Chains A and B, each alone.
Chain A
Amino acid sequence: MPRSNSPELDLFERGVLVRLTQVDAGYRSGDVLRGIEFEVNRSEVALVTGPAAAGKTTLIHLLRLALQPTAGRAVILGADARRLNMTWRARLKRHIGYVAENPSFIENWSAYENIALPLKLMGRKPAEYAPDVQELVEFVGLNADAGTLASQLSGAQRRRAAIARALAGKPDLILADDPTAGMSPADGKRIVRLLAEMRRVGAAIVITSQDQGLAEVAPTTSWRLERGRLTPVSAVEDAEDYEAT
């Protein structure tokens, strides 16, 4: 975690939850992202679109602290990602909600138990977290399937359960990696709306997708990622227009 009065913490307090400056990142085989300049503020929804293999998932891994930049500076939730040790990285991750393209669950647990897991990790007792989990279950529309084992959920239900789990810890930063993949356009839009709703409680949301049309679903800042290069596309749509939708 950043020291008090550090420049990183100062950024966080000013509402800048993510700032990547000239960041390169990748794997042993080589860098996937090059010279990334990216910033996301509190209550902002950033939509990053791009073709397959453009580096969207790598960007998400970088933001969720699973990858370190090989060059440049990544300040995430007020901390310099290159200076975090394993313990602090784990602590910071609790403030990041992550929805993977193919979410992992504890398959022999019910959807409800999986959604409650972040709260259990925080040390909360079942009686304390039950109302919150129930609210999340209703929010993502899983009421009828909350007791179903994760292994028996459909693809769309798993995505919803993953969103509910990602929101359970009331994260400051929500990352969704291609959350609409394999869904009907209607379901995809619904998922993006659900995620975008979290801007109302001050969270920043980063969504990656191949579908550029999602920018019309919610007020977003849009970015285009191609061959590891990220460029801004548009500013935030008028929130009132969004309200109208």
Chain B
Amino acid sequence: MRNALAGIERSLFLTLVFAAFAAAMAGLMARAVDRIADAYERSRSDYAVVRVLAPEGPEGLARAETALNNSPYVISAAPMSASRAAALLGQWAGQAVRAEDLPPLRLVEIELAPTTAGLDIHAELVAVLAQNGVTGEVIGASEETAGAGVAHRISVAAGWGAAAFALIMALIVALGARSLAARKRELVTVLTDLGATRGRAAGQVGDEAAIIGLYAGLLGAALAAAASAALLLLAIPGLGLGAMHEVILPIDYAPLIAAPLGCALAAGIGARTAASNFFAQASRLT
């Protein structure tokens, strides 16, 4: 390793470290986007609003709240306050809405419990309300207006973007490793003259490059892990190490493991291909 990192190889090593770092960061970002999108989708599908049609007035709201809170499909139910409605409307309209300007509300916000697939939860809730003498309708998040599927598409786009970026970094690593192979041309020539096969001569150079790639990849991934932790600390005030552990680990092992392995693989393949060409040239003069 000491010999491998002499002179020009040191700058090549740093290039590989940067490539692995960038690829790992891209992977971490994609995974973060995926996780945020997933959380958003889950919260969107867990939320609904019940509009009480009859009986009118506070009595209808109270009966609906009680009925919904007793339902196994509902985690919590609470009448929507005027100030909350004003805040939501203001967010939607893009301008401030005063709570006192709103008419009396007949809305109950509910957080839905996870249910089995195929169950029409809205119909079940309407039936629960009817059993308690309340006529109401359940308003779920609209597929179009609440961005259903958009989060998923963003997540997929981020994933493909990170994969494409990682591929470009792998190409940079492979090209960098070719220059390492050029430095080892003398070794390939000697091995060729001594009767080594193409696999042996090229493999020797490829293996050395793969080991350097692995070390560079490990360092790059470690730097990416440190950088992402620093970003989390900046983005989430008061985040402790324990909480960070919870935030990072479920999502971030994959890029941190893939970066060194990918870096080693790309370096090995790049160097091996170049060494193979050198072997052919040394083996047969023209």
Query: Which residues from chain A sit less than 8 Å from chain B, CB to CB?
Result: 27-28, 61, 64, 66-68, 86-87, 89-96, 98, 100, 104-108, 114, 117-118, 121, 165, 169
- Whether A121 pairs with B198 at a CB distance below 8 angstroms is no
Is there contact, CB below 8 Å, between B283 and A89? yes
Query: B283 near A107 (CB under 8 angstroms)?
Result: no
Cβ–Cβ contact A117 & B286, under 8 A:
no
A68 to B189, alpha carbons, bound, how many Å?
18
Expressed in whole angstroms, the Cα–Cα distance for A147 and B215 within the complex equals 29
Enumerate chain A residues within 8 angstroms of B284, measured Cβ to Cβ: 66-68, 86
Residues on B with beta carbons closer than 8 Å to the beta carbon of A118: 194-195
B3 contact set on A, CB distance < 8 A: 108
Of the candidates A28, A68, A98, A107, the one whose C-beta lies within 8 Å of that of B193 is A98
Query: How far, in whole Å, are A105 and B194 apart by their CA atoms in the complex?
Result: 11
SS class of chain B's interface: helix, strand, loop or mixed? helix
- How many Å lie between the Cα of A118 and that of B192 in the bound state? 11
The number of residues on chain B lying at the interface, defined by a beta carbon within 8 Å of a beta carbon of chain A, is: 20
User: Are B195 and A94 in touch, CB under 8 angstroms?
Assistant: yes
Do residues A93 and B191 form an inter-chain contact, with CB atoms below 8 A?
Answer: no
A90 touches B195 (CB 8 A): yes
The interface bits of chain B over 116-150 (1 if a CB of A lies within 8 angstroms of the residue's CB, else 0) are: 00000000000000000000000000000000000
* Contact residues in A for B285 (Cβ distance below 8 Å): 27, 61, 66-67
Name the residue of chain B whose CB is nearest to the CB of A119. B194
- Bound Cα distance from A96 to B191, whole angstroms: 13
B186: chain A residues within 8 A (beta carbon): 104-107
- Beta-carbon contact of A93 and B195 below 8 Å: yes
Interface residues of B in 19-50 (CB under 8 A from A): none
Per-residue contact bits, chain B 244-286, to A (CB 8 Å; 1 contact, 0 not): 0000000000000000000000000000000000001011111
Closest 5 CB pairs of A and B: A93-B195, A94-B195, A90-B197, A66-B285, A118-B194
CA distance A165 to B195 in the complex (A): 12
Closest to B190 in A: A104
One digit per residue, 1 when the CB lies within 8 angstroms of any chain A CB and 0 when it does not, for chain B 155-199 equals 000000000000000000000000000000011011111111110
- Contacting residue for B190 out of A66, A94, A117, CB 8 A: A117
Task: Tell me if B200 is interfacial: C-beta within 8 Å of chain A.
Answer: yes
Known contacts A90-B198, A98-B193, A106-B186, then 6 further A-B pairs from the complex at CB < 8 Å, ordered by chain A residue:
A67-B284, A89-B283, A90-B283, A108-B3, A121-B196, A121-B200
CA distance A82 to B285 in the complex (A): 14
Asked if A96 and B187 make an inter-chain contact with CB atoms under 8 angstroms apart, the answer reads: no
A58 shortest CB reach to chain B, Å: 9
In the complex, which residues of chain A have a beta carbon less than 8 angstroms from the beta carbon of B282?
Answer: 66
Bound together, the chains give a CA A156 to CA B196 distance in angstroms of: 26
CB distance from B207 to the nearest CB of A (A): 14
How many angstroms between the C-alpha atoms of A67 and B282 in the bound complex? 10
A92 to B191 Cα, complex, angstroms: 13
Which chain A positions have C-beta within 8 A of B280?
A: 86
A96 CA to B195 CA, complexed, in Å: 8
Chain B residue at minimum C-beta to C-beta distance from A68: B284
| Bound-state Cα–Cα, A86 to B197, Å | 8
Chain A residues with CB under 8 A of B196: 90, 121
Q: How many whole Å from A64's CB to the nearest CB in chain B?
A: 8
Q: Is the CB of B193 within 8 A of A104?
A: yes
Q: A27-B285, A28-B286, A67-B285 are in contact. Are A86 and B195 (CB under 8 A)?
A: no
Cβ–Cβ < 8 Å partners of A64 in chain B: 193
Please determine whether B283 and A104 come into contact, CB atoms closer than 8 angstroms. no
A94 to B197, CA, bound (A): 10
Contact partner, B187, options A86, A95, A106, Cβ 8 Å: A106
Q: Which residue of A lies closest to B189 (CB)?
A: A104
Closest partner residue, chain B, to A120 (CB atom): B194
Q: How far is the CA of A213 from the CA of B192 in the complex (A)?
A: 33
| A105 vs B192: C-alpha distance when bound (angstroms) | 12
How far is the CB of A140 from the nearest CB of chain B, in Å?
17
Shortest Cβ distance from A62 into B: residue: B285
Please give me the residue from chain A that is nearest to B284 by CB atom: A66
